[in-house]
Chain A
Amino acid sequence: MDRRSFVRGVAGGVALAGGQLLLPRALLGAGLPSGALESEELFALPGKQPLIKRSFRPPNFETPVAQFGDVLTPNDRFFVRWHLASIPEIDPRAWRLSVGGDAASAPLDLSLEQLQREFEQVEVVAVCQCSGNRRGFSDPHVFGVQWAYGAMGNARWKGVRLKDVLAKAGLAKDAVEIAFNGADSGALEATPDFVKSIPVWKALDENTLIAWEMNGEPLPHWNGAPARIVVPGWTATYWMKQVVSIQALKQPLANFWMAKAYRIPKGKFATVDRFTTQETAENTPITEIVVNSLITNVTDGQKVKAGAPLVVKGMAWDAGYGIRGVEVTVDGGRTWQAAELGPDGGRYSFRPWQFVIKPSRGRYTVSARASNGLGATQVDQLIFNPAGYNNNVVQRLGVEAV
């Protein structure tokens, strides 16, 4: 997709969101903020293909929707999200991982070579999705990076189990959380360092990894080289990039990034996994990725040929309960039909799907709705929350067959 067609596609979205068309805005959802549309551009970071720039520093770049055609998102198309602007280039040979904390009796100081040699190597295919993916569609808008659909990707991660490393570090029975720190930092000493924790039970999940490889290649710098944490099923805020320290804690981690940020109101979302040591009366840390889908080969406002088959394609994913089905409607939700599911690439992976329509002349509203093994499904109306998380609103794409 060249720059020009990208701009055109976006402009169509603005017109719709502005209420200039006949459909009521409530049925369309909010578009991105005008300032987000004006300031976005396709830009290639070193080693990356052009991605949609949301901010340069710290770098926040999302993957264009059309790039989600493959089950595995290519490394050079994978989204980039950092909180703090100082991101060092780390020599993998010089990198050390410190494993300790008050709930670890045998602290470790590991090189990458030791990590790779001393523990069993495993792989998992998993979706890494920013908690705030689709925040830009929040209605009303909320502060933050104004992501559209592309702050996510699916990759094959290779590394070692975090539980194996914790066992070697002498994890104590009374540990409650495992905290991760990356090598990044803010420009000011006073800015809270980005340190995150997960419950010890999630850290001991066999799928939670310390990974150095992504889709068969070393992690790209922008995605956390030399090694990062991988927490399948949970949003990317816990997938610490450039991890240099892992601390087993007897007390909950109390910092800005845990206590104030990345929180959802209690009672609004049907989330299974709880993070009880961090819960308050009002809110709780975000945990699982909500069931969701994305139409990857149709854009809003697209014109297609009447009478010719149109294969609507997309991806579906959830927190690991498994995609049970994807339904598609082309009449704005009056009738739904089952899409054909592609190969199952694992419970944490994108699941491809497709649905063939043969439209006669006219206008269609195309939507897809994924359901998972728990029976959870996408929502028709945004569940508003102050930070714009867990947006799995069903897309509504206008298509005209001519």
Chain B
Amino acid sequence: MKKLAQTIAAAVAIACVPAAADETNIRMADGPELTTLVANCSGCHSLDYVQMNSRWVKRAGWEAEVKKMVTVMGAPVSPEDQAKLVEYLTREYGVPD
């Protein structure tokens, strides 16, 4: 997971966020979509937002949350990546329907 920590650290550095605390210790569940999560989400917020909002969310809930990040918060996430994020979040941080 060292690589992930470095990626997050890089994302934080790029965002020039002075408030960044020790979030490099955050360990997210592994999966083929993990790099998509880091690339699309961690520029604006630490990934513990995902962790603390688990586990009770069904697929529709994660779909709505990803959509909110795009349509309300302005995250530029491609439709393909949105689908990957929903897949990852539902599988690793959600509950079955």
Please give the residue numbers on chain A whose beta carbons come within 8 Å of chain B beta carbons, in ascending order: 33-36, 38-40, 43, 45, 53-59, 82, 85-89, 140-141, 143-146, 186-192, 256, 260
Contacts and interface: CB of A to CB of B under 8 A. Distances in A.
Given A89-B18, A187-B17, A57 B74 contact: no
Contacts of B43: 187-188
A58 B19 contact: yes
Contacts of A260: 72
B46 A56 contact: yes
Contacts of B65: 143
Contacts of A140: 56
Contacts of B18: 86-89
A86 B55 CA distance: 28
Contacts of A145: 52
24 contacts: A35-B52, A35-B93, A39-B26, A45-B21, A54-B48, A54-B52, A55-B45, A55-B52, A56-B22, A57-B45, A85-B15, A85-B17, A85-B19, A86-B15, A86-B18, A141-B53, A143-B57, A143-B65, A186-B74, A188-B76, A191-B73, A191-B74, A192-B73, A192-B74
B54 interface: yes
Contacts of B48: 39, 53-56
Most buried by A among B18, B19, B54, B57: B19
For the complex of A and B, the 3 pairs showing the least CB-CB separation, nearest first, are A190-B74, A35-B54, A39-B51
Contacts of B45: 55, 57-58, 85
A140 B53 CA distance: 12
Most buried by A among B43, B46, B76: B46
B75 interface: yes
B61 A143 contact: yes
A45 B20 CA distance: 10
Contacts of A45: 21
B30 interface: no
A35 B51 contact: yes
User: Mostly helix, strand, loop or mixed at chain A's interface?
Assistant: loop
Contacts of B57: 143
Contacts of B56: 33, 140-141
Contacts of A82: 19
Contact of A186 (B19, B55, B73): B73
Nearest to B25: A41
Contacts of A54: 48, 52
Nearest to B54: A35
B43 to A, nearest CB: 5
B7 to A, nearest CB: 15
Interface in B1-37: 12, 15-23, 26
B23 A189 contact: no
Nearest to B27: A39
A36 B17 CA distance: 24
Contacts of A85: 15, 17, 19-20, 44-45
Interface in B73-88: 73-76
Contacts of A192: 72-74
A141 B65 CA distance: 14
A33 B46 contact: no
A189 B74 contact: yes
B15 to A, nearest CB: 5
A89 B48 CA distance: 24
Contacts of A89: 18
Nearest to A140: B56
A140 B21 CA distance: 31
A203 B9 CA distance: 42
A228 to B, nearest CB: 17
Nearest to A143: B53
Given A188-B74, A191-B73, A56 B52 contact: no
Contacts of A38: 51
A366 to B, nearest CB: 28
A192 B54 CA distance: 25
